């Protein structure tokens, strides 16, 4: 396998060299608009089609903070079995649409049940402002800590399953990049721009999130419920969240083609939570924290790009001194994309003259 990676690296380096040295012709040139700077270029009038494959680890982790635990039952981790997700992403000008679903089940998924997965995302904006929107759904989880309470696990290899446990998340995130004249966020994470010199920026923004977790019965196994006191019969949860975030991003470019990008944001989040504890309903308001960390590397040429990215999205729903609850999605993504010179439709030219278009 390593020799193929070496050959691929040599091939991409040769293509990069040839593309950066080739003369531009009128009919082959990918046009550039006002965002042209000495730091990056934008591909205008181009439809970008990307095919991606993801390895995603999605989990909900619960930990009680009251009682002493001698059996190791105070932490309950529910993982989605659906790790492999395949999909497509389409980019044009300020728009990006992506959607994916699970691909072939993993060979090592025996005993972990089956998770139905659906993801869709929609982004709009340029290098000043960007709004990211996505919805993801997981149905069917297994309990990672099954060996701590099931003595038959070593024989059966069967995890404690919650096939009806469903997790849904809708997020709208807005980001403002202070150094937008020199830094292109989309170059490192969407490849509809091309960063040609290294740059960095501060990020300011916020998000609105609706997170829903529900089951048709108590989520925790019977052996662990006594440790969770009032939350023993916890069966569903919904939270409406508003957050303000700040952070930084950087892209390092080599030979005007190879790049390494990364960003991190964190900030306070106001959460309005609804708990279904069986016979009791609770409505609470909390101030917590949320954040996002993302890194990518790849090669970004005039006609195509290869991109690997790592993303860690998390939300913390702690009930202080009672129970800790963290929802986290760790994603490894590999995308291959190609750019098609399509021109600009007449209806889109009219849209470009609107206030909404010029706002972002």
Which is it for strands 46-64 and 84-92: parallel, antiparallel or unpaired?
Answer: antiparallel
Is residue 19 very low, low, confident or very high in pLDDT (cuts 50, 70, 90)? Answer: very low
Which is it for strands 95-102 and 40-42: parallel, antiparallel or unpaired?
Answer: unpaired
Q: Is residue 113 part of a domain?
A: yes
Cα(275)–Cα(319) distance, rounded to whole angstroms? 11
Higher-pLDDT residue of 186 and 8 is: 186
Q: What is the mean pLDDT of residues 18-25?
A: 39
Which is it for strands 160-177 and 129-143: parallel, antiparallel or unpaired?
Answer: antiparallel
Q: What confidence tens digit (pLDDT) does each residue in 291-336 have?
A: 888 999 999 888 889 999 998 888 888 887 788 888 888 888 899 9
Q: What is the mean pLDDT of residues 16-23?
A: 40
Q: What is the mean pLDDT of residues 169-186?
A: 92
Q: What confidence tens digit (pLDDT) does each residue in 74-88 have?
A: 899 999 886 677 889
Residue 149 has pLDDT above 70, yes or no: yes
Cα(47)–Cα(191) distance, rounded to whole angstroms? 11
Average pLDDT, the chain: 83
pLDDT of residue 22: 38
Cα(86)–Cα(104) distance, rounded to whole angstroms? 9
Cβ contact 336:49 at 8 Å: no
Residue 18 has pLDDT above 80, yes or no: no
pLDDT of residue 355: 81
Q: What confidence tens digit (pLDDT) does each residue in 38-92 have?
A: 688 887 778 888 888 887 788 999 999 888 887 788 899 999 886 677 889 888 8
Give the CA count within 13 Å in the CB-facing half-sphere of 71: 15
Q: In percent, how much of the chain has pLDDT > 90?
A: 36
Cα(281)–Cα(283) distance, rounded to whole angstroms? 7
Cα(335)–Cα(111) distance, rounded to whole angstroms? 30
Q: What is the mean pLDDT of residues 219-231?
A: 91
Residue 14 has pLDDT above 60, yes or no: no
Q: Is residue 9 part of a domain?
A: no
Is residue 15 very low, low, confident or very high in pLDDT (cuts 50, 70, 90)? Answer: very low
Please count the other Cβ atoms lying within 10 Å of the Cβ belonging to residue 76.
Answer: 25
Is residue 4 very low, low, confident or very high in pLDDT (cuts 50, 70, 90)? Answer: very low
Q: Is residue 17 part of a domain?
A: no
Higher-pLDDT residue of 139 and 6 is: 139
Structure tokens that stand for 250 in this block: 């950087």
pTM: 0.79
Residue 235 has pLDDT above 90, yes or no: yes
Q: Is residue 15 part of a domain?
A: no
Q: How many domains does the chain have?
A: 1
Please count the other Cβ atoms lying within 10 Å of the Cβ belonging to residue 68.
Answer: 6
Q: Is residue 179 part of a domain?
A: yes
Is residue 209 very low, low, confident or very high in pLDDT (cuts 50, 70, 90)? Answer: very high
Q: Is residue 25 part of a domain?
A: no
Q: Is residue 337 part of a domain?
A: yes
Structural domain of residue 318, as residue ranges? 30-359
In the block, residue with structure tokens 């009032």: 230
pLDDT of residue 30: 37
Q: Is residue 7 part of a domain?
A: no
Cα(276)–Cα(213) distance, rounded to whole angstroms? 10
CATH of the domain at 93: 2.40.128
pLDDT of residue 83: 67
pLDDT of residue 166: 95
């Amino acid at each position: 396998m390593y020799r193929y990676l070496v050959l691929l690296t040599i091939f991409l380096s040769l293509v990069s060299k040839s593309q950066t040295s080739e003369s531009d012709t009128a009919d082959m040139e990918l046009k550039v608009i006002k965002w042209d700077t000495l730091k990056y270029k934008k591909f205008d009038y181009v439809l970008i089609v990307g095919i991606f494959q993801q390895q995603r680890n999605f989990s909900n982790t619960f930990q009680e903070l009251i009682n002493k635990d001698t059996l190791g039952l105070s932490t309950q981790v529910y993982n989605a079995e659906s790790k492999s997700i395949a999909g497509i992403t389409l980019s044009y000008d300020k728009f990006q649409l992506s959607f994916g679903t699970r691909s072939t089940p993993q060979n090592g998924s025996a005993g972990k049940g089956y998770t139905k997965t659906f993801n869709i995302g929609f982004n709009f904006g340029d290098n000043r402002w960007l709004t990211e929107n996505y919805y993801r759904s997981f149905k069917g989880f297994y309990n990672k800590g099954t060996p701590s309470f099931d003595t038959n696990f070593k024989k059966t290899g069967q995890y404690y399953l919650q096939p009806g446990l469903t997790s849904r998340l809708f997020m709208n995130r807005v980001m403002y990049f202070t150094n937008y004249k020199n830094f292109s966020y989309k170059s490192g994470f969407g490849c509809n721009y091309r960063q040609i010199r290294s740059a960095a920026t501060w990020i300011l923004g916020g998000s609105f999130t609706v997170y829903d977790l529900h089951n048709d019965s108590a989520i925790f196994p019977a052996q662990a419920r006594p440790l969770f006191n009032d939350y023993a019969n916890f069966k569903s949860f919904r939270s409406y969240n508003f957050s303000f975030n700040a952070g930084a991003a950087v892209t390092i470019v080599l030979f005007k083609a190879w790049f390494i990008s990364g960003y991190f944001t964190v900030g306070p989040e106001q959460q309005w939570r609804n708990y279904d504890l069986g016979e009791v309903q609770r409505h609470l308001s909390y101030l917590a924290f949320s954040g996002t960390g993302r890194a990518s590397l790849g090669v970004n040429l005039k006609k195509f790009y290869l991109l690997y990215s790592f993303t860690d999205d998390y939300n913390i729903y702690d009930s202080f001194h009672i129970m800790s609850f963290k929802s986290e999605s760790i994603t490894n993504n590999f995308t291959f994309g190609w750019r098609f010179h399509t021109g600009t439709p007449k209806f889109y030219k009219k849209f470009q003259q609107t206030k909404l278009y010029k706002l972002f």
